[in-house]
Amino acid sequence: MVAVAERSVQARGEALRRLLSARNLIVLLVAAAIAYLALVPLGFLLWQTFVRGGHFTVSAFRDAYGAVGLGTMLLNSFVFSFGSTIFALVIGTALAYLLVRTDVPGKSLMYAASVVPLIIPGILHSISWTFLLDPHNGIANTYFIQKLGFGAFNVYSLPGMIFIEGLHLAPLVFLLMVASFRSMDPSLEESAIMSGAPMWRVFFRVTLPLAKPALYAAILIMVVRGLESFEVPAVIGLRNHIWVFTSRIYDALHALSPDYGTAGALAMTLLALTSLGVWWQSRLGRRARAFQTVTGKGFRPRPMPLGKWKWPAVAFILAYFFVSILLPLLTLGYASTQLYYSPPTHYTLTHLTGANYPSVFHDPLFQHAVKNSLILGVGTATAVMLMCAIAAWVVVRTNLPGRWLIDNLAFTPLVIPGLVLGVAMLDVYLRLKWLPIYGTLWILFIAYLTRYMPYGMRYAATSMFQIGKELEESAMMSGAGWFQSFRRIVLPLLVPGFIAGWIYIFVVSFRELGSSVLLYSPGKEVLSIAIWQQWQDGLLPQLSALGVMLVGFLVVMVAIAYKLGARIGVRET
Amino acid sequence: MLDVQNLVKTFAGSKAEGRGRVHAVDGISLHVDEGELFTLLGPSGCGKTTTLRCIAGLEMPDDGVISVAGRTLFSRADRIRVPANERGLGMVFQSYAIWPHMNVQANVAFPLQVLPRAKRPSRSQIKERVERVLAVVKLDHLSSRQATDLSGGQQQRLALARALVMEPPLLLLDEPLSNLDAKLRDDMRFELKRLQRELGITGVYVTHDQVEALAMSNTVAVMRDGKIEQVGRPRDVYEKPSSRFVADFIGTSNFIDGVVEAKEGSSYRVRTDDGMLVVPSDAAFQVGDNVVVAARPEHIELTTGSNGGAPNAWAGRVAVRSFLGEVVDHVVSVGSRELRARCNSKVSIPPETDVTVRFHEEAFSLIPAGE
């Protein structure tokens, strides 16, 4: 009896020791960090918008929508996001089908074009199109559209915004649809052909219906992206007062007296819309999985010969490549060689200068920006990947109660548009006086951490799934404790995914504008902010030189990622 | 050596199962002697792997006691729960679980390197022990090879070496041969058996393959729905299945329902719809009991011409014949039923031929009806 009681006391001490083990402490810390990042800004935003003087109120909404002219803004937002979605969807799906299912030449060009959103930040992309399609001196207007006898295309319009946003979103659709076409079992189509159906019938009766879940998902993702987009509405839309959610939020905070109530109410609405989109998409995803017609296996389908359609298809690809990559980059390159920007003429083309490049280096703004961007990029990428490696382990490997909560929390920021996060973070850190990080790089660091947590989680979780559970179990059976097996088995096997995710976050952190534009303070500018300021000051050649160097740097980074990718499998999305 | 008492492991059921607890392992007790290879055999979902994982410490049982060599590893009553990494058991996984980022030597050295400092052998001792165990599994010439460059059979042996390097009191094997192709599987089966017998390893072996189970084990436990249906030496389980499930799962059987009509010495006379059978059995049945006669097809003899009607010799007609190489299978219609007879390859009777179906006594086992 006594012996048993003693043993059970011992067992209880043992249990306590286990509960407080290094493993549990680390897991708890990570879970707390994720919960803080995901919940605190949202909580403050809700509080700020709905509670005034201790009472629940919707007055912020009344103010916001009373002043703004709700109808036009809503209409603009939806026309803009749906318009750019349709544009991107048509181009992206066509390219994806050509790539995966036909024998069209020039497939490597398509892959090159697909990394555009990674290497050309949205703000540079938008600015380069103002050079091209300005109604007065746009290069494409002067030398192409008007030469054909049309009137100048005014880019500062909804169609202009849709065109530019759609062009920027098309590669994303392309990648989503390539994945979908790839994972489609070719025997489904082949059996339709064997049943005697002609090619076009197979496409419409089998291929397209099978791709439907992916199409719907792509539509929802793009609509959400369109709603969140800040660069195009700010660079293109503001000039002619074509308001959408994001530009309105920005405007409310940059008026002479910042109106946090209005910004909060608009941000809440936008958040509700994007959450709806993401929720709907995940529901679709679940249903699609239930069907299991499209398996996760990779197939190598037999390419369909295009025949006489080959050359039109090639022309389409070349045109896309020219318009989406070459034209914007050439324009930026040209603008960077001028002392004062004017459209290319014989005179300007024979009077090129490299003076902008050294002068950029001497600009203190640039020096700050490079330093801050590098610090933030390296810091965010490292912190996110470490945190997510542990979180992914908890979610994928353990059966701890509440692990799904960690998963959901880590993905929550996906529904928060950058600008909304900016509004929320302002809210938090202007109030939390005991955490005085407003005006430092820390606030940007926390914002980036929040924004890129979902991507880190995706990379980490995917690689974690690829590491067989038995590899870890066999380490346990060999006598290794948690820390040993995490350090010696899990982390080394996670390295490829870890590096891929690290580079991805590092690269995308350079183009972050939405939350930075609300959270930076003088001396704490990052590169995207430097470009934004120079754009507002009209320093176009300097901005272009900076842009060209930034694109060059990102190309190198992406190239490294792809080089490693040959070995480690960098995922494109 | 290994003692398992009243082991219970439940999982949360899915929505379809009404959110109840599913009993994956439902009160299993077993005992494995030193040097014995004990096999858990059963169809997928019968709980054999869960039982093994409970012994390994990778699953936490709901109830029961597990002890190895006198050391209690798990006891619900005494609140003892030794974590997997402190149990010191060896395990070979179905997927081998070879760490792809290490070479052969590093894989095998790992269990020694992670021992607590006090028990850890010196660097040179580790090297020596790794080499010794690699020699045992005949991989010594590949010790600096990257683990992923090994063939399936070599990876299998590497996994075995890694499990053995600690010289564990008990080796757990989770369907270790199921990922190999058929030819290699045959070779590895003999290899594994030889090693186990030579090194005197005590092992628990999980498989769904009856051939493997019969060939390798000292003792077989047939599992069904989380319970052990029958335990015994392979030959006993094969020749004297205690239930219809076991007779069906191990080997092939013809099942003939009948009623006990009389006891004649050590045999029973069983009346069936298609004739009389005289079935030897140790089991105690009463006259009038409903029984099932399981008849192994390899002990059913076919001869052309019909002079059936006697007990254990029925008249029938060949329905289908299929040539399988070493043997020829015949499906014979007898009255309302079809019987399968497995004949040696010299016997080959075309369909639509009248035959006499002669049951040899060793074909039979007598099983109570209703299971």
pLDDT digits (tens, 9 = 90+) for B307-348: 666 788 888 899 999 988 888 999 999 888 899 999 888 888
Overall pTM surpassing 0.90 (yes/no): no
pLDDT digits (tens, 9 = 90+) for A255-293: 777 877 788 888 888 888 888 888 887 777 666 554 444
Q: Hey, what are B348's tokens?
A: 């080959």
pLDDT of the residue at A20: 64
Q: How much of chain B, in percent, has pLDDT values that exceed 70? A: 97
Which one of B55, B79, B167 makes the best mutation probe of the A interface by having the most chain A beta carbons within 10 Å? B79
**What pLDDT does residue B16 have?**
60
Structural domain containing residue A123: 70-335
Q: Do A481 and B99 touch (CB under 8 A)?
A: no
CB-nearest to A477 from B90, B94, B99 is B90
Q: Tell me if B191 sits within 8 A of B173, measured CB to CB.
A: no
- Kindly state the DSSP code that residue B206 receives in the 8-state scheme: E
* pLDDT tens string A33-62: 999 999 998 888 888 778 776 777 777 777
What are the φ/ψ torsions at residue B296 (nearest 5 degrees)?
A: -70, 130
Tell me whether residues B80 and A489 touch, CB distance under 8 A: no
**Residue A12 pLDDT more than 80?**
no
A180 and A41 within one domain: no
* CATH 3.40.47.10, domain B2-245, yes or no: no
Q: Which pLDDT belongs to residue A568?
A: 37
Does A352 reside within a domain? no
**Smallest Cβ distance to A477: which of B56, B78, B100?**
B56
Cβ-Cβ contacts under 8 Å for B129 (sequence gap 6 or more)? B112, B121, B165
CB contacts, 8 Å: A4 with chain B: 78
The mean pLDDT value for B146-163 works out to 89
Q: What is the dihedral of CA A338, A341, A346, A351, to 10 degrees?
A: -20
Q: Are A373 and A529 in contact (CB under 8 A)?
A: no
CB contact set of A463 (below 8 Å; sequence gap of 6+) = A392, A493, A494, A496, A497, A498
A146: confidence class by pLDDT, cuts 50, 70, 90: confident
Q: What is the distance between the alpha carbons of residues A122 and B44, in angstroms, rounded to a whole number?
A: 54
Chain B residue with CA closest to A481: the answer is: B85
Q: Beta strands B313-323 and B63-68: pairing type?
A: unpaired
**How many contacts (CB atoms, under 8 Å) link A and B?**
81
Say yes or no: A486 and A518 in one domain: yes
Query: Would you tell me the crossing angle of helices A260-291 and A418-431 to the nearest 10 degrees?
Result: 130
Q: What confidence tier does B89 reach under pLDDT thresholds 50, 70, 90?
A: very high
CB of A21 within 8 Å of a chain B CB? The answer is no
Helices A403-411 and A22-50 cross at an angle (nearest 10°) of 50
Nearest-by-Cβ selection for A476 from B79, B85, B115: B85
Instruction: Read off the pLDDT of each residue in A244-264 and give the average, rounded to a whole number.
Output: 84
Q: Considering all CA atoms of chain B, what is the largest pairwise distance in Å, rounded to the nearest integer? A: 79
Please, which residues 115-134 of chain A have a Cβ atom closer than 8 Å to chain B? none
Q: Is the confidence at residue B128, as pLDDT, over 60? A: yes
Residue A342 lies in a domain: no
Q: Is A7 on the interface with B (CB under 8 A)?
A: yes
Cβ separation A475–B110 shorter than 8 A:
yes
Residue of B92, B93, B158 best to disrupt the A interface, most CBs of A under 10 A:
B93
Which chain B residue's Cα is nearest to A477? B85
Name residue A456's amino acid: G
Q: Which of A335, A366, A392 is the last residue of a domain?
A: A335
Looking at beta carbons, which residues of chain B come within 8 Å of A3?
none
- What is the per-residue pLDDT for A17? 66
Tell me the average pLDDT across A110-127.
Answer: 84
Please name the residue of chain B whose CA is at the shortest distance from the CA of residue A485.
B114
- Of the three residues A275, A300, A335, the one that is the final residue of a domain is A335
B119 contacts in chain A (CB < 8 Å): none
A408 and A295 inside one domain: no
A260 by Cβ neighbours in 10 Å (0-12 / 13-18 / 19+) ranks as middle
Nearest to A410, CA basis, from A386, A377, A388? A388
Quick count: other Cβ atoms within 10 Å of Cβ B224?
18
Counted domains in chain A: 2
Question: Do B93 and A493 count as a contact with CB atoms less than 8 A apart?
Answer: no
Give A512's contacts (C-beta < 8 A, 6+ positions apart): A418, A448, A451, A526, A528
* Nearest by CB: B78 against A4, A473, A475: A4
**How far away is chain A from the Cα of B297, in angstroms, using its nearest Cα?**
40
Name the band, by pLDDT with cuts 50, 70 and 90, for residue A6.
Answer: low
Structural domain includes residue A340: no
* Res A7: pLDDT: 53
pLDDT score, position B18:
59
Fold of B252-368: OB fold (Dihydrolipoamide Acetyltransferase, E2P) (2.40.50)
What pLDDT does residue B47 have?
92
Q: A478 and B110 in contact by Cβ < 8 A?
A: yes
Same domain? For A159 and A48 the reply is no
Q: Does A22 touch chain B (CB under 8 A)?
A: no
Assess whether pLDDT exceeds 70 at residue A251: yes
Mutate to test the interface with B, among A471, A474, A482, A499 (most CBs of B within 10 A): A474
A138 band by pLDDT with thresholds 50, 70 and 90: confident
| Residue among B55, B107, B110, B166 with most chain A CBs within 10 A, to mutate | B110
Show which of A305, A335, A365 is a domain's final residue. A335
Assess whether pLDDT exceeds 70 at residue B293.
yes
Average pLDDT value for residue range A458-476? 85
**Inter-axis angle of helices A245-254 and A208-228, to 10 degrees?**
10
CB contact under 8 A, B85 and A470: no
pLDDT confidence of residue A567? 38
In a domain, A88, yes or no: yes
Contact between A371 and A380 under an 8 Å Cβ cutoff? The reply is: no
Tell me, yes or no, whether A392 and A307 share the same domain. no
CB contact under 8 A, A8 and B78: yes
Q: Is residue A501 part of a domain?
A: yes
Average pLDDT, chain B: 89
CA distance A285 to chain B (A): 20
Residue A351 lies in a domain: no
Q: How far is A244 from chain B (nearest CA, A)?
A: 44
Task: Locate B61 and state its tokens.
Answer: 């049982």
CA distance B221 to chain A (A): 24
What's residue A10's pLDDT? 56
More confident residue, A353 or B14: A353
**A8 vs B79: CB contact, 8 Å cut-off?**
yes
Find chain B residues with C-beta within 8 A of A12's C-beta: 79
Residue A382 included in any domain: yes
B80 to A7: CB separation less than 8 angstroms, yes or no? yes
Stronger pLDDT, A421 or A258, i.e. the higher one: A421
Categorize the per-residue pLDDT at A348 as very low, low, confident or very high, splitting at 50, 70 and 90: confident
Q: Report CB contact under 8 Å: B84, A476.
A: yes
ipTM of the complex: 0.79
Position B370: which residue type? G
Same domain, A365 and A248: no
Q: Is the Cβ pair A468, B97 closer than 8 Å? A: yes
Mean pLDDT of A76-103: 90
The amino acid sitting at A124 is L
Q: What is the DSSP string of A228-272?
A: H--HHIIIIIGGGT---HHHHHHHHHHSSS--HHHHHHHHHHHHH
Mark yes or no for CB contact A11/B79 under 8 Å: yes
What per-residue confidence (pLDDT) applies to A370?
A: 92
Res A292: pLDDT: 41
Structure tokens at A223: 């609509």
With a CB cutoff of 8 Å and minimum separation 6, the contacts of B123 are none
User: What is the distance in angstroms between the Cα of B77 and the nearest Cα belonging to chain A?
Assistant: 9
Question: Which of B79, B114, B159 shows the shortest C-beta gap to A480?
Answer: B114
Cβ contact A474–B85 (<8 Å): no
What is the per-residue pLDDT for B8? 94
Contact B162 A474 (CB under 8 A): yes
Output the domain CATH number for residue A513: 1.10.3720.10
Query: Which chain B positions have a beta carbon within 8 Å of A492's beta carbon?
Result: 101
> Quick one: A362 and A427 in the same domain?
yes
- Cβ contact, residue pair A479, B114, below 8 Å: yes
Beta strands at B21-32 and B37-41: parallel, antiparallel or unpaired: unpaired
List chain B domain ranges.
Answer: 2-245, 252-368
When CB atoms are compared, the residue of A473, A484, A493 closest to B114 is: A484
- A146: DSSP letter: T
**Statement to judge: residues A239 and A289 lie in one domain:** yes
Quick one: pLDDT at residue A232? 93
Name the residue with higher pLDDT: A431 or A533: A533
